[in-house]
Homo-oligomer: A and B are copies of this chain.
Amino acid sequence: MLVVDSYGVFVGKKGDRIVVRRRGEKVCEEPAGSVDLIRLSCRGVCVSLDLLELVLRYGIDLVVASRSGVPLALLVPFRAGSSIRTRREQYWAYRDDRGAFLAKAFIEGKVRNQANFLKYIVRVYRSVGPDVKASLLEASERISGLVEDLRGIECRDCDYVRRGVLGVEAEAASIYWEALSRVVPRELGFSRRRKRSERPRDVFNVLLNYAYGVLATEVWIALVKAGLDPWAGFLHKDNPRRPGLVYDLMEEFRVPVVDKPLLGFVVERRGLVSGFLGEDGRLCREGRLEVCGLLNRVLGCERRFGSERLSLRSIILRQARRIVKFLHGRRLYRPYVERW
């Protein structure tokens, strides 16, 4: 991922290399073959059309994002192959047990990752005191117990399954964030999880919201590549303002891609992090670059995936392709649950 996020920068090309310049001086040069995603996210940035042609030729994804991390737009090629049969299955799966099964699987992945992450904190974080550890373990057990409730919900169709699944999700989230709030450095002022729409004023929530935006971009691209319609979700209802399937598939990746690395980051660098929040309640440029850099490293990290080792970014694409296989009846879908 090449992140372009600073004022007065120009992104062009030279031969088959991507060149970033600032006031005429070269800042960075990468062969196009080694870049999979270019993320443009600051005012005062320019790109050349030659670069866009290179990007299209190499199949690099080019994303425009807002300063606060929300993906705004994707450059979509005219001649990208596209599987119509897959999308037909996707729409019909909404009405049958396949959609309901997927809706449950996404949340099962999320909840199991939450429970495991709390146990991981207990095992790895030395700074955490024994009574906090006990409360984290208890929270983890309670969340694990909810997985059984989830499995008990009958897979009829999405509309039927949604209420029960969202109930479990909400309960798990309340336990999970309450537990996490004991680990986030107190001086950061994190008391409870607040979404972007709730206008949080503490830096950890703002960092989380920014990072979920970066994750949404990755999931969006993976779904488009797999030939799925990002708008037709199973758990998330049709909503012209939110691509439902993006928010669906994101669920199982929230903890491993965002929560875990971000918690480590704020615990380790608490002094630095508290300076990231501008008076306007937004991240400063350094904060944005740090989060992008962190997530890029995480997405590039290899994990065990079945019998293979794959980067998290490839695993997201694999899971999107596994949704396709499941819709075509070729294999069962299992959510991504990280080993802790």
- Chain A residues with a Cβ under 8 A of chain B: 10, 12, 40-50, 52-53, 56, 64, 70-84, 87-88, 91-92, 216, 220, 229, 231-232, 238, 240-243
* Majority secondary structure of chain A interface residues (helix, strand, loop or mixed): mixed
Q: Do B75 and A64 touch across chains, with their CB atoms under 8 A apart? A: yes
- Contact partner of A48 (CB less than 8 A), chosen from B12, B41, B46, B240, is B46
Q: Do B64 and A72 touch across chains, with their CB atoms under 8 A apart? A: no
In addition to A53-B72, A75-B75, A81-B240, 11 A-B residue pairs with Cβ atoms within 8 Å of each other are A12-B46, A40-B49, A43-B50, A44-B49, A46-B49, A49-B64, A64-B75, A73-B77, A76-B76, A87-B87, A87-B229
Contacts A45-B49, A46-B47 known; A240 to B73 CB distance under 8 Å?
no
With a cutoff of 8 Å between Cβ atoms, the chain B residues found around residue A242 in the complex are 79
* A142 → chain B closest CB, angstroms: 35
Can you list 7 A-B contacts (CB < 8 A)? A47-B49, A49-B64, A56-B64, A56-B72, A78-B243, A82-B231, A82-B243
With a cutoff of 8 Å between Cβ atoms, the chain B residues found around residue A76 in the complex are 73-76
Instruction: State in angstroms the CA–CA spacing of A42 and B232 once bound together.
Output: 36
With a cutoff of 8 Å between Cβ atoms, the chain B residues found around residue A48 in the complex are 44-46
Interface centre among A40, A81, A88 (most CB of B within 10 A): A88
Q: Do A84 and B231 touch across chains, with their CB atoms under 8 A apart? A: yes
With a cutoff of 8 Å between Cβ atoms, the chain B residues found around residue A82 in the complex are 229, 231, 240, 243
Contacts A56-B64, A87-B87, A88-B91 known; A46 to B10 CB distance under 8 Å?
yes
Copies of this polypeptide in the complex: 2
Instruction: State in angstroms the CA–CA spacing of A42 and B50 once bound together.
Output: 8
With a cutoff of 8 Å between Cβ atoms, the chain B residues found around residue A47 in the complex are 46-47, 49
Instruction: State in angstroms the CA–CA spacing of A76 and B80 once bound together.
Output: 14
Q: Do A42 and B49 touch across chains, with their CB atoms under 8 A apart? A: yes
Q: Do A53 and B46 touch across chains, with their CB atoms under 8 A apart? A: no
Nearest 5 interchain pairs by C-beta? A81-B240, A45-B49, A88-B91, A82-B231, A71-B78
Interface centre among A56, A91, A232 (most CB of B within 10 A): A91
Q: Do A81 and B10 touch across chains, with their CB atoms under 8 A apart? A: no
Which residue of the partner chain B has the closest CB to A55?
Answer: B73
Instruction: State in angstroms the CA–CA spacing of A70 and B77 once bound together.
Output: 11
- Contact partner of A229 (CB less than 8 A), chosen from B71, B75, B84, B243, is B84
Q: Do B73 and A52 touch across chains, with their CB atoms under 8 A apart? A: yes
* A103 → chain B closest CB, angstroms: 15
Which residue of the partner chain B has the closest CB to A66?
Answer: B53
Which residue of the partner chain B has the closest CB to A4?
Answer: B49
With a cutoff of 8 Å between Cβ atoms, the chain B residues found around residue A64 in the complex are 49, 52-53, 56, 75
Q: Do A87 and B79 touch across chains, with their CB atoms under 8 A apart? A: no
Q: Do B78 and A72 touch across chains, with their CB atoms under 8 A apart? A: yes
Q: Do A91 and B81 touch across chains, with their CB atoms under 8 A apart? A: no
Q: Do A75 and B77 touch across chains, with their CB atoms under 8 A apart? A: no
Interface centre among A46, A47, A78, A83 (most CB of B within 10 A): A78
With a cutoff of 8 Å between Cβ atoms, the chain B residues found around residue A56 in the complex are 64, 72-73
With a cutoff of 8 Å between Cβ atoms, the chain B residues found around residue A49 in the complex are 40-47, 64
Instruction: State in angstroms the CA–CA spacing of A242 and B82 once bound together.
Output: 9
